[in-house]
């Protein structure tokens, strides 16, 4: 009689309903998800890239072709594809530009090695190959990059203008490149060159007017704050005024609801009211004694104080936002005071000219000719609100690129030139390496070609034909040959055509893309906990 096998007890490790996917199919599924994200972004790349119109759940529409913004608005839920969102955000925060490129590169690297994974090549060999290729690329960029001489201010300014124009060439404002490039470079050069804090460049969006009505204020401009009666009697323009910035409330406060004061006679009540008035009048007189002609406060300035200042020819504004007040202090000097007593001359700032005037449908307070101006304000105009928002995003990218170029004055040619040169270099180098790594480095080299290929596709050019021309030119030693979307031939020397980018943008993009690809390749199992089913109580 045959013995029956003992029945093995079932081991329940995970909660019932937990979704586990693992092995090769899971890895291929993650790669497909990343390719789907890249497909969405691919049409936005390059000077002929298209824009995306994204409508959120509240019905608000946004038009943009900034990779990081699109991914943020898409609200991606696939866990592996979220990695691409993270690298786009990191690229945006670190360098400001190249957010679409970094996603396309990462997805293309995965696409190139998908065949090897299906054939059973270990992901670790692929990851090792990618890391080797990434290091080779980084050292090759450092060999190729061109340094621009900072000692000649005019040459250096030209470099910054070219970098700003290249960043804007793929944006909605590419037709206004010369106008906005000047504005961006002037804005960055007005900052403290050691610190380069881009948050000190204020951006104010004013609907109406044309894009060319946008202007750069070499100082601070902010929208007129809420004012009480008496504000219209105040002078609206000063030359060389002293400016006092406060964090003090100049307003009579109503008694609290739960405050209780017991008085025996009317004169006692009057004494309490008089004391309150005396306090505020003392504050106002101390402010007047400082000699300040412009008084700004983060807290409200009430109707009594507004009228009092108006009678003495002083301009005041209360409820100024913290960011604007910080930039005013940076521009005019002095410091923000939390009390009205013991204010000395060193605590006050000054500017060459202060005035309040109309911009579009709003009134703006403008401080110009500031002695210590390490800040500036961009007043952006335009027809639709979505358009102005996209202009702001485009200028942010350009400002970040110019900031990086100021700090690191090394540049490379854009328009697919550097990618083709790196691809040719990796192909040649791969032939010297034995084993499977050779295939992986060649796949990495093919992945780099997605940038020039996509620029061609988006511009309606024959990408196969142009890539063949580029390969031939790079093999002949023309290291800066790149895509020309305007010319008949489709190929040109992009260094001579002034399509310049800081080398940091490319270094960061390729290393981030390789890291993201390695991260996705290292995952072979996804475990999702079941969402707790909550019975909604009716």
Query: 17 pLDDT band (50/70/90 cuts)?
Result: low
The alpha helices in 75-119, defined as continuous H runs, are 82-94, 99-118
pLDDT, residue 78, reads 84
Both tokens of residue 307?
Answer: 């009228």
Task: Look up the pTM and report it.
Answer: 0.77
pLDDT, residue 155, reads 82
CA 249 to each of CA 276, 298, 305, 337, 467: distance values in angstroms, whole numbers, following the listed order: 13, 8, 10, 11, 66
The one catalytic residue among 100, 225, 350, 375? 100
pLDDT of 533 higher than 50: no
- The DSSP result for 7-70, as a single string, is PPPPP--S-TT-EEEESHHHHHHHHHHHHHHHHHHHTT-STTPPPEEEE-TT--EEEE--HHHH
pLDDT, residue 451, reads 92
Long-range contact list for 507-510, CB < 8 A, 24+ apart? 507/138, 507/141, 508/91, 508/94, 508/95, 508/98, 508/102, 509/91, 509/95, 509/98, 509/101, 509/102, 509/105, 510/105, 510/134, 510/137, 510/138, 510/141, 510/422, 510/448
pLDDT 10s digits, 130-155? 999 999 999 999 999 888 777 778 88
pLDDT, residue 537, reads 43
Query: 324 pLDDT band (50/70/90 cuts)?
Result: confident
The one catalytic residue among 66, 92, 324, 457? 66
pLDDT, residue 188, reads 86
pLDDT 10s digits, 266-316? 888 888 888 888 888 888 888 888 888 899 999 888 888 889 888 888 998
pLDDT, residue 250, reads 83
The one catalytic residue among 99, 132, 306, 442? 99
Residues 6+ apart with CB under 8 A from 526: 19, 20, 21, 22, 26, 30, 79, 80
- Quick check: is 397 catalytic? yes
pLDDT, residue 8, reads 63
Query: Residue 254: helix, strand or coil by DSSP?
Result: coil
pLDDT, residue 248, reads 85
CA separation for the pair 110, 130 (Å, rounded): 10
Place of tokens 């040109």: 492
Place of tokens 């029945």: 7
The DSSP element (H or E) to which 213 belongs, if any, is: none
- Average pLDDT over all residues of the chain: 84
pLDDT 10s digits, 61-98? 888 888 888 888 888 888 888 888 888 888 888 877 78
pLDDT, residue 107, reads 93
- Quick check: is 66 catalytic? yes
pLDDT, residue 157, reads 85
- Quick check: is 457 catalytic? no
pLDDT of 382 higher than 70: yes
Query: 334 pLDDT band (50/70/90 cuts)?
Result: confident
* CA dihedral (301, 307, 308, 312) positive or negative: positive
Query: 21 pLDDT band (50/70/90 cuts)?
Result: low
CA separation for the pair 41, 52 (Å, rounded): 9
Higher-confidence residue: 31 or 263? Answer: 31
Both tokens of residue 108?
Answer: 């293309």
Residues 6+ apart with CB under 8 A from 19: 526, 527, 528, 530
pLDDT, residue 456, reads 92
pLDDT of 166 higher than 50: yes
pLDDT, residue 112, reads 93
pLDDT, residue 198, reads 78
pLDDT, residue 262, reads 80
Higher-confidence residue: 526 or 469? Answer: 469
Mean pLDDT computed over 420-440:
92
Query: What is the Cα Rg of the chain in Å?
Result: 31
Beta-carbon neighbour count of residue 432 at 10 Å? 8
């Amino acid at each position: 009689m045959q013995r029956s096998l003992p029945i093995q007890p079932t081991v329940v490790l995970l909660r019932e309903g937990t979704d586990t996917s693992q092995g090769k199919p899971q890895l291929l599924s993650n790669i497909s998800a990343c390719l789907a994200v890249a497909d969405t972004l691919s049409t936005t790349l390059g000077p002929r890239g298209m824009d995306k119109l994204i409508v959120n759940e509240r019905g608000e529409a946004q038009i943009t072709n900034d990779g990081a913004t699109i991914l943020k608005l898409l609200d991606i839920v696939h866990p592996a594809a979220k990695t691409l969102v993270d690298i786009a955000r990191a690229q945006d925060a670190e360098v400001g530009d190249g957010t679409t490129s970094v996603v396309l590169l990462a997805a293309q690297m995965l696409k190139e090695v998908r065949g090897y994974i299906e054939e059973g090549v270990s992901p670790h060999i692929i990851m090792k190959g990618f890391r080797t290729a990434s290091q080779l690329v980084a050292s090759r960029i450092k060999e190729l990059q061109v340094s621009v001489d900072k000692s000649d201010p005019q040459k250096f300014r030209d470099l910054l203008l070219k970098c700003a124009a290249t960043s804007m060439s793929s944006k909605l404002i590419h037709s206004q490149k010369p106008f906005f490039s000047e504005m961006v470079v002037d804005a960055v050069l007005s900052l403290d060159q050691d610190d380069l804090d881009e948050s000190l460049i204020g951006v104010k969006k004013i609907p109406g007017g044309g894009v060319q009505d946008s202007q750069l204020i070499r100082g601070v401009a902010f929208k007129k704050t809420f004012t009480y009666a008496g504000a219209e009697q105040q002078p609206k323009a000063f030359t060389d005024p002293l400016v006092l910035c406060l964090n003090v409330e100049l307003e009579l406060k109503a008694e609290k609801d739960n405050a209780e004061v017991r008085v025996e006679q009317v004169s006692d009540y009057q004494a309490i009211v008089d004391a309150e008035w005396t306090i505020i009048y003392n504050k106002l007189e101390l402010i007047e004694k400082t000699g300040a002609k412009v008084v700004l406060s983060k807290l409200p300035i009430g109707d009594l104080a507004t009228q009092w200042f108006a009678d003495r020819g002083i301009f005041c504004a209360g409820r100024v936002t913290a960011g604007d007040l910080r930039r005013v202090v940076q521009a005019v000097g002095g410091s923000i005071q939390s009390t009205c007593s013991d204010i000395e001359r060193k605590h006050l700032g000054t500017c060459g000219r202060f005035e309040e005037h109309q911009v579009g449908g709003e009134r703006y307070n403008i401080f110009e000719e500031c002695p210590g101006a390490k800040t500036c304000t961009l007043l952006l105009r335009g027809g639709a609100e979505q358009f102005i928002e996209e202009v702001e995003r485009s200028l942010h990218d350009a400002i970040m690129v110019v900031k990086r170029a100021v700090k690191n004055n090394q540049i490379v040619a854009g328009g697919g030139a550097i990618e083709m040169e790196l691809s040719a270099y990796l192909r040649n180098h791969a032939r010297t390496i034995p084993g499977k790594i050779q295939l992986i480095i060649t796949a990495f080299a093919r992945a780099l070609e997605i940038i020039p290929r996509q620029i061609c596709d988006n511009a309606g050019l024959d990408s196969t034909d142009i890539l063949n021309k580029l390969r031939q030119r790079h093999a002949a030693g023309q290291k800066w040959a790149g895509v020309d979307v305007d010319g008949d031939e489709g190929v040109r020397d992009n260094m001579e055509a002034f399509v310049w980018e800081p080398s940091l943008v490319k270094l960061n993009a390729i290393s981030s893309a390789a890291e993201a690809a390695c991260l996705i390749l290292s995952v072979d199992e996804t475990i999702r906990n079941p969402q707790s089913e909550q019975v909604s109580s009716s």
